[in-house]
Structure 1
């Protein structure tokens, strides 16, 4: 008797079985596929992104910058002058072999020296220039229709600027009077208030403007003490000491974070706004200078407001005169509609949210390069432009705003500054110009502690390097002239 053929074929013993046998038994077959590509973490994605975009942009500087980003950054110890043991604390910092960075800025300079005022006048008299260095006259800046009209005021005309200068109590008769019959506005053409929330930030506004530059003259605050280890030193700072009032002796900041405050050029009696203030490192620096009449610190999130309040209370005692001058407010500075702080501040600091490039390549938690946060990252330039526009709206005419990020991205730095300048002029009638920070760069670069990007057109960009690993920190200063 013939035997039936086998229902399975063994090709390799105990390893491969003919599929017809498995299908006949209705077996569930799930093939196992070997993992060929490892899953990339957000920090790895960030580094790949930076290699692709920053590599060509920074050229021969990129290998050094990249290595610096992947290495722990270097800190500056800010001496807290509100501590009752400030002299002892300063001696401790000096005993570590540190150097006060302010010595590079103010050594041998006397504020009472009349030559200092002469030099300031000389610098401020320099003409306006565009990004390519061409000189611009007042007629070219304002144009025929926007030029101040002091020389055309005559009979039957009215100079609006002169009426404003008189204040509330200097009455000037109007050149014309209107009656109800003469002023006839059709019902369908009644002026309606424009909704500011409908203003769009497209990112191409910069191509329709020309942000001019004018030299600046900075006077550095004498009360700041910023101690740093020498170039190439890897030494660290000890933990801060607390005095009898539980006030800490010093705190640590990245060396790039001091530049925005130095760029503010703080003066006695300044009314200052610190947008996006939490966790409060730069607000504390401003408080250390003593050069302000009022410091308003704002942030959008309640949790960050609590963080800011705790940070300030650790270093400023409640009985210090500066404590009564600091105001903390919860406010979203990225909303155009309803922004009421217009034209009241002398100085504004915008330390804007950004991709925080150093953290992005070293930390996965909260990393903006994670797939879940892609849209937030892509919306950053739009958010930054809105913050800077509201900062310009908050300034008095003649006041200055300092914009800063800890990103290397030109789209979050130069592009944001130029886009904001155009939107401020087109939508709010605010004209501004850039104050190049060449003086600050010339004073800091010889110290060897700072390295700056070569190819940035506006402001300063501190780039990381192993010898003195500060940054990244982008800083740009604008002045409102109308």
Structure 2
């Protein structure tokens, strides 16, 4: 039996009726009633050893199974979406929502979040971890995490934009994010960190008022409200033979794609691609050679394929897109020095998703799994650096505020590579990129290796961390 099947069987066992009854009498933090609603536990009882042992087995399996695959939760709610990779996540991407609704007061914005109540256990954990790190800013960031996240609209350059969609954009007063930031029609320049060596420029071309086209030379067309207001859009259903005209995702998800700086004829790897939003954005940016869109988890790979087929013409999928299911850590052995660009939208603890976990045991397991994530993320990043060819670049991204999963992963990998590799790895300074987007995003000023989009109520994007490395 495959490891993913074993994993699923273990989940089914833990949350069977028998195990729920057992846990209800032994849970230290709370008990589960027959409707799975949590209640406070007054005793200091412990989990019985067989269940505790099985729980540890599951945690170990989830932490060491296919390393590029997301770590699944143990609760029944959203079983397959525990750590979303893009991401947001960061992978925070979404495929649609219901009718249109505009911004209201903060109370209305929270009410819009389907009446969900954030977990106090998770909030307490965030307060301990992030309160120390962000200090006085944490209360504002905390309030934003509990408010509805914003979504933007990525127009599909391969599909015709209907008059209905054009009217919707006009009525909601949406604008292209590049026009809002006044960067359309000019190049955005990247350069190496001056402390890291000689300066080198990279161009990201954007044309003003670029028109819809079925040619892959078309540039990104990403629409948001210029005042960062929340706007909802109709959900698009898949119609065989008909491409969807737009994809909904957080605007911060664009930043790792832009940082990757894809050029013509590049060979690109999206290592942890599901559900497919960043692969879609990559395919809109440049007429590059081949995109390898990878996802080892079978269920998430099906989602990835469905997304690509809903937005990309079949002839493009047949000739320029390769969907694979390889564990991310194996690219260093299977395809060393092959790719021009690699995007590692790593599995992460996904703060927004975790905040609304309903199952107490699932939340406890997430806390345990979170300790293992930096090791997993570092393994993926090291693999990407081996897979990229000399002169190529790697972008590492997460959708969490966690310093351990962001800068500290970068630091540990840089130290390991400098000791054990003949290649030279340098950090690319992304300040010039982020300066172009100051009108839309709020960035953390304390990061050392990458950039972090901080969510605030007046700019509720992210969290999204991204950093860029160049291999010589």
TM, length-normalised to structure 2: 0.68
2:335 to 335, 338, 341: 341
Equivalence for 1:96: 172
Q: Please give the per-residue CA displacement for 1:451-475, whole angstroms capped at 9, x wherever unaligned.
A: 1112212211001111121000001
Please state how far the C-alpha of 1:61 moved relative to its aligned partner.
1.6
Whether contact under 8 Å (2:158, 2:311) holds in the other structure is yes
Superposed displacement of residue 362, structure 1:
2.0
Matched, 1:52 2:128: yes
1:53-452 to structure 2, matched below 5 A, reads: 53-85=129-161, 89-104=165-180, 107=183, 109=185, 128-129=194-195, 217-222=202-207, 223-240=219-236, 245-319=241-315, 321=316, 323-335=318-330, 339-364=333-358, 370-445=363-438, 447=439, 449-452=440-443
Q: How far, CA to CA, are the matches of 1:257 and 1:352 in structure 2?
A: 13
Matched residue of 1:129: which SS? helix
Distance 1:285 1:323, change over 3 A: farther
Q: Which moved more, 1:73-82 or 1:101-110?
A: 101-110
State the aligned residue count: 351
- Aligned partners of 2:354, 2:393: CA distance in 1, in Å? 31
TM-fit CA distance, 1:86: 5.7
CA pair 98-364 structure 1, distance change in 2 beyond 3 A:
same
SS at match of 2:468: strand
Q: Which runs of 5+ in 2 are unaligned?
A: 1-29, 32-38, 43-116, 208-218
CA offset digits 1:89-110 (Å, max 9, x no partner): 3453233200100224564635
**Cα shift at 1:85:** 3.5
2:51 maps to what in 1? none
Helix, strand or coil: the match of 1:94? helix
Match of 1:460 among 436, 451, 456: 451
Q: Are the equivalent residues in 2 in contact too, given 1:79–1:90 (CA < 8 A)?
A: no
CA distance change for structure 1 residues 108 and 98 in 2, over 3 Å: closer, same or farther? closer
Shift of 1:51: 0.5
Deviations along 1:234-256, one digit per CA (max 9) or x if unpaired, are 33223347788321111110121
Q: Give the 3 Å change call, closer, same or farther, for CA 48–127 of structure 1 in structure 2.
A: closer
- CA shift in 2, pair 1:358/1:383, >3 Å: same
Q: Is the 1:105–1:220 contact (alpha carbons within 8 Å) kept by the matching residues of 2? A: no
Max Rg structure: 1
- For the 8 Å contact 1:245–1:317, the answer to whether it is kept is no
Partners of 2:273 and 2:183 lie apart in 1 by 30
Report which stretch shifted further, 41-50 or 393-402.
Answer: 41-50
**Whole-angstrom distance in 2 between the partners of 1:368 and 1:351:** 27
Measure, in 1, the Cα distance between the counterparts of 2:276 and 2:312.
12
Cα deviation, residue 226, structure 1: 0.3
What do residues 221-279 of structure 1 show as CA deviations (whole Å, max 9, x unaligned)? 55110000122523322334778832111111012111100111111111000001111
In the other structure, the counterpart of 2:40 is: 38
Range moving further from structure 2, 239-248 or 294-303? 239-248
Report the Cα distance in structure 2 between the residues aligned to 1:412 and 1:290, rounded to whole angstroms: 30
Q: State the secondary structure of the residue aligned to 1:417.
A: helix
Shift of the alpha carbon at 1:127? 7.4
CA distance in 1, matches of 2:227, 2:180: 14
**How big is the alpha-carbon RMSD for the aligned residues of Structure 1 and Structure 2?**
2.9
TM-score, scaled relative to structure 1: 0.67
Residues in 2 aligned to 1:395 and 1:92: alpha-carbon distance in whole angstroms? 42
Gaps of 5+ in 1: 1-34, 131-135, 138-213
Secondary structure of the equivalent of 1:410?
coil
Maintained 8 Å contact 1:264/1:401: yes
Find the aligned partners of 1:53 and 1:107 in 2 and give their Cα distance: 36
Q: Aligned residue for 1:180?
A: none
